[in-house]
Structure 1
Amino acid sequence: MKTLRKFFPIIVSFFFVLLFIYASASKMLDFENFQVQLAQSPLLSAYAGFISYAVIILELVIAGLLCFHLTRLWGLFASFAIMVAFTVYIYLILNYSDFVPCSCGGILEKMSWQQHLVFNMVCVLLALTGVFFIGKERAYRWSRTAAELAFTAILSAGSMVALFLSSEYIMKKENNFTRRFLPHPIDFPQKLNLEVNSFYFAGQHGDTIFLGNKVAPLIMGKVYPSFDKLILDTLKISDASLPFQELKLQVQYPYFSLADGHVPAVFEGEFPDVNAQLAMHQKAYFSTIVMIKPKHYIFRGQSTKTRETIMGLLETEPDVKFRFNTTFLEKQIDGIFDTDGNFVTDPVKQNVIYTYFYRNEYRVLDDQLRFTGQGKTIDTITKAQLKLNTLKDGRIKMNAPPLKVNQDQAAYGGLLFNEANLRGRHESAKMWQQAKVVDVYHYPTATYRYSFYVHHDGPNKMRSMLVTAKHFYILSGNQLIRYQRMR
């Protein structure tokens, strides 16, 4: 028994020396990948930079402490603490995280998370036993050793829980531009060849998708949930003689509209009738308009007084009525270029989400043009980075291409899907050449949820997206691609 007490701590110590040296060496040899793995951790994403260095240094220091008789007890206490932390980390992943990531690399690469948990618990018991044996050899009281181990375990576990809670708050509320890529949030792609690349998303009815055509604005495409063919219909308008520049189709089935803000004009119809009647003409110009519900639109225009961009509400029944919101878009520089952005409607909640192109912010309007909230995208560009020049005739022009933060958006059921334009921390530059990145936000609570890649289809990139309850759709080249939503 005395021999066991003497040699067991030594055997345990050298087991941990081998474990920590191998683990730290494997991390250093593939350090960039190790940082990326930590950045994708559902618990420690916000602290990936700091923890990536701290874990390696700590493992090497502990290995050094275990090599010498005078410091071996400290080394075993530290081994006990770090293994308790790792065990709590895996327990939180399995029970409280938003998702379970892929298994980590290194020495435990082939293990499942459940096997990791068992392995770590065995390591905790080995370190604990080694501490007790050394304590017995040095005539420490059992109660003293037990109390020290209990304090160490509570401190270690509590620190891990605190890191988890803090990281979750930072990632969802105060993100430091670290994306969280979930495993396969969209999957099982299906492709439908549209023959031309001039189609755009015009609306949805469940998983029946309506497409407009930029080249032939009165041609409407329709794809049923069977996703086996494109059906074309020709729409008709009551006055085709107007000087259209960009006649755009929108569908809120069974209602549809065709609008051009340069004329300006809005035509309205109801399926199965393909005829659309002129509902508004020359009342107000607009650059973009979205149909929230039948006879009810929110648009972006320009103030006749300040020339700055404003938002407006158009109702076409029983009479044409307008209402304006001049304070919704926040001016930073000129009130025109700095407020430029894209806005989409959530077909479930009937909100409009306006996302600025050149700063990290989105803002929400209800169907009555009332401001209901705002949120931040996870990048760090809080002010539009624009170089503007005022011409002699008063016109304002850009002197240089602006830094674009947000590209395109879609919304469904309280979620905002934002095609991001900037690479975040710990992200592969190579992957950004192979795919687009979509960040997902829960806009009613202004929280970031997760991100995912949309891979290029050969030389073609995603140019537009649409979301339904079950699917995520993109247009890429001549293809309409449908993914199954896994979240």
Structure 2
Amino acid sequence: MIMKAQGLIRKHFTKTVSILLTLLFIYAAASKILDFENFQVQLAQSPLLSAYAGVISYSIIGLEFIVAILLCFRTTRLIALYTSLGLMAGFTIYIYLILNFSDFVPCSCGGILEKLGWKEHLVFNIFFFLLTAIAIFVTEKQKGTGLRRPAQFSFLTTVISCVLVIALFLSSEHIIKKENNFTRRFLLHPVIENKTLLLDNPDYYFAGSDNEHIYLGNHKFPQILLTVDTALVKMEKMKIGPDNLNHNFRNLRVQVQAPHYYFYDGTVPVIYRGLIGDTLAHTISYGDAYFSQLALLDTNKFALRTQSSATKEFTIAFLNLSDSIKVKLYPEILKKQIDGVFDVDGNLITDRHTNDLIYIYTYRNQFIVMDEQFNINRTLNTIDTTSIAQIKTTKLPDGRHKMNAPPVKVNRRAVAYNGLLFNQSDLKGRHESRKSWEKAKVVDVYHTDRQEYMGSFYVYKKKDNGMRDLWVTDSYFYAIAGDELRRFKIRDGVFK
């Protein structure tokens, strides 16, 4: 009688565990299907499996349904239990890796399980893993196979499952950081907005910063230099007064590199320099070189983007006011693909911390990192897949080029600081939510000393005003959106 009772208990135990696992897998798979787009987005943001979000999202759902069906039949129940053990082991090691080897934790579960914290979820999975293991031993004992076979098979199944997840993690890390297939990894609150300052008009742009101030220029009123303290409390306007205004200005701009500000127009071409706080700006360069962009290197040294008089193509140039030969062209830096004008269009910026000179292309997934002697140290890629500029141009009889079709803009604007490139991208990546893109602008972060993508974050719109310019300091990420200057605290260690 006792032996018979024990047999019934074992039988019912295995059946009960099978029913619980069936309900669990059906519920989990159905929850993912009902919110499949969100499931894919969350899986793509996983710090472990980002690169395989597409394949894994379908595979997990399919496997959960198949195992649930196999658990319902006595003839296939044992193999289904071993598969369940492997699944639970994989889910468990995944959560363990998330908790111990990740700087942020995503969520890729739906329904009731989404309410569990990650530690509670780990306990939940371990419980079902042990329950499944016991059910396997009970089933094998009923078949008279002894303990050795289930012990070996369970151990092997667990090891294979764990090794597979770890291998996917290591491979995904390499793909996401080094060989990204345009799958963004959104960091968990890397920047947190903590202050907003209302400006008197929406035409400001970032001109520079120092330890205590942010400096803003103005497109509409180019002679205005606005100084804002980093606490976003005090503002002070200064009207720049150049020593010579008898020029036909068309594109006046200002940049600040303490203790000086530089006032310039490359269409004249002229560069003025003044001390911060002093309205008088003195001419330091006139007629030396026409240019469309200028980056500050030193008090008398500048990197320029100019146009070759011979080829009419854009090129990088060095302007050294202290040298007898003031201008030197570097035509080999910008790589022509189509016309040498629009296809090499981009932004010329400097890293104020490392003194690197960076040129990021607008219409292709590439940026160039140079030293102060204009040596190309690295040519690196952004994570999108547009390697050839998607533009159509026409060359006019006078040699000028004109774009005759809407281009695919890849990189909108960028700022570099302390070995990192913060790039506002205009392209939506794989598995990304369209709703989020309608509500926000995305910023991708890259290392500039090696080919490595760090992650991305959203800057959400306010008053339907998108981000028009960005700036980075040691502690803060700044954005200009409409008539607001917004300050975001950079979370400690997030970009280390």
Structure 2 residues without counterparts, runs of 5 or longer: 1-5
CA 1:377–1:199 in 2, change beyond 3 Å: closer, same or farther?
same
CA 1:67–1:158 in 2, change beyond 3 Å: closer, same or farther?
same
RMSD over aligned Cα, in angstroms? Answer: 1.6
Where has structure 1 moved over 4 Å in runs of 4 or more?
Answer: none
Deviates more, 1:198-207 or 1:329-338: 198-207
The CA deviation at 1:388 is 1.7
1:316 aligns with 2:310: no
1:418 aligns with 2:423: yes
CA contact (8 A) 2:205 2:216 kept: yes
CA contact (8 A) 1:23 1:107 kept: no
Match of 1:262 in 2: 267
Match of 2:83 in 1: 78
CA contact (8 A) 1:349 1:414 kept: yes
Q: How many equivalent pairs are there?
A: 487
Letter in 2 for 1:290: A
CA contact (8 A) 1:103 1:113 kept: no
The CA deviation at 1:126 is 0.8
CA contact (8 A) 2:476 2:489 kept: yes
Match of 1:242 in 2: 247
Match of 1:352 in 2: 357
User: How far apart, CA to CA, are the structure 2 residues paired with 1:68 and 1:103?
Assistant: 29
CA contact (8 A) 1:44 1:167 kept: yes
Mapping for residues 6-405 of structure 1, pairs under 5 Å: 6-102=11-107, 104-317=109-322, 321-405=326-410
Structure 1 residues without counterparts, runs of 5 or longer: none
1:440 aligns with 2:445: yes
User: How far apart, CA to CA, are the structure 2 residues paired with 1:262 and 1:413?
Assistant: 32
User: How far apart, CA to CA, are the structure 2 residues paired with 1:177 and 1:361?
Assistant: 13
The CA deviation at 1:228 is 1.0
SS of the residue corresponding to residue 135 of structure 1 reads helix
Match of 2:433 in 1: 428
CA contact (8 A) 1:191 1:480 kept: yes
Normalising by structure 2, we get a TM-score of: 0.95
SS of the residue corresponding to residue 52 of structure 1 reads helix
Normalising by structure 1, we get a TM-score of: 0.96
Cα deviations by residue, 1:308-354 (Å, 9 ceiling, x for unpaired) = 11101122236672222111111111111110011221111111221
Letter in 2 for 1:377: T
SS of the residue corresponding to residue 337 of structure 2 reads coil
CA contact (8 A) 1:102 1:183 kept: no
CA contact (8 A) 1:254 1:272 kept: no
Letter in 1 for 2:204: F
Letter in 1 for 2:39: F
The CA deviation at 1:272 is 4.5
Letter in 1 for 2:186: F
User: How far apart, CA to CA, are the structure 2 residues paired with 1:77 and 1:374?
Assistant: 49
The CA deviation at 1:263 is 1.0
User: How far apart, CA to CA, are the structure 2 residues paired with 1:135 and 1:244?
Assistant: 88
Cα deviations by residue, 1:379-422 (Å, 9 ceiling, x for unpaired) = 11110111122233333222112111111111111111111111
SS of the residue corresponding to residue 71 of structure 1 reads helix
Letter in 2 for 1:166: S
CA contact (8 A) 2:39 2:108 kept: no
User: How far apart, CA to CA, are the structure 2 residues paired with 1:380 and 1:481?
Assistant: 31
The CA deviation at 1:234 is 2.4
Cα deviations by residue, 1:216-243 (Å, 9 ceiling, x for unpaired) = 3222100112211321122232222222
